Amino acid sequence: MISIVSKVILPLPIFLLFFLFYLLGRLKNDFTFGGFFILVFWGIFYWFSTAPGANSLGHIIEKRYYQIKVIKEDPKYIAVLNCGNRHSPDLTSTSNLYPCGLSRVSEGIKLAQKYTGATVIFTGLEPASDEDLDAMANFATDLGLSKSRISKRSTLMEISGDDASDPITNSNTVFVTSANDMPRARHLLNAQGLSPTPVSTDFLTYPNQKVDWTGFIPSSAQLAKSGAAIQSMILLGVAKLTSPTGEPEEVMDEMVEEAQEE
């Protein structure tokens, strides 16, 4: 009971409840199409503030990545994409990473422990700053990953030094990013001629997710989840407009399987 009350008395549910009463009162006394559209907007806002609404959005963009891709051969490179970080020397390495960055780097370290011969590359789709890459590398070394196994590149396509003789290919690389960012990441990499094996983390949703009646109580956490999913859809749309040469995800999956069979 206490947990239910604590969900109801938060600012967002209270605001939506009082605003609904206000709208219904106005429409009852003076029906207008403007008020009706505001009520529709309220309904959409409410739906995306609930667990079923947020999960439905997240499922659209993440469902392809619920099943882990099989890595048939030990990879040479484990590329971990940047998620934006804080830059404060007064904070610990964990505090200098956003939650999505913590998930991505942790997943990269887990893979590095399994594939002990692989180099972990901290990088970005767009050019990542040195501060961002350092924040990721510092967290990795604090968790025990040897500095000799870490490489930092502004973008994944940046080939320099010794790496020029052994470039990244589809068959020797896996890359890690958040599940809601994976469709955009794969499209942009494929537009540059790469379709490495994707490894998703930091899921907004999960398969067969069950929600009880308390999931219909609006919350800022669910609204943030909906916002992240909508932002991912918008960024994917922009990526397809600016880099239209990428293949559909179904074709990229086939390319990953073909590379693993070579």
- Cα 27 to Cα 23: distance, rounded to the nearest angstrom: 6
Reported as a single tens digit per residue, the pLDDT across 133-152 is 999 999 999 999 999 999 99
φ, ψ dihedrals at 55, nearest 5° = -65, -35
pLDDT at 99 over 80: yes
| Any domain includes 170 | yes
Q: Do 36 and 79 sit in the same domain of this protein? A: no
Can you give the residue range of the structural domain that contains 87? 68-205+243-261
Give the helix/strand (H/E) hosting 236.
helix 220-242
Q: Do 87 and 33 sit in the same domain of this protein? A: no
Q: Do 77 and 177 sit in the same domain of this protein? A: yes
**Residues 145, 84, 126, 198, CA torsion sign:** positive
Domains identified in the chain, total number: 2
pTM: 0.82
Q: Do 134 and 250 sit in the same domain of this protein? A: yes
| Any domain includes 23 | yes
Q: Do 165 and 255 sit in the same domain of this protein? A: yes
Reported as a single tens digit per residue, the pLDDT across 112-131 is 999 999 999 999 888 888 88
| Any domain includes 55 | no
| Any domain includes 103 | yes
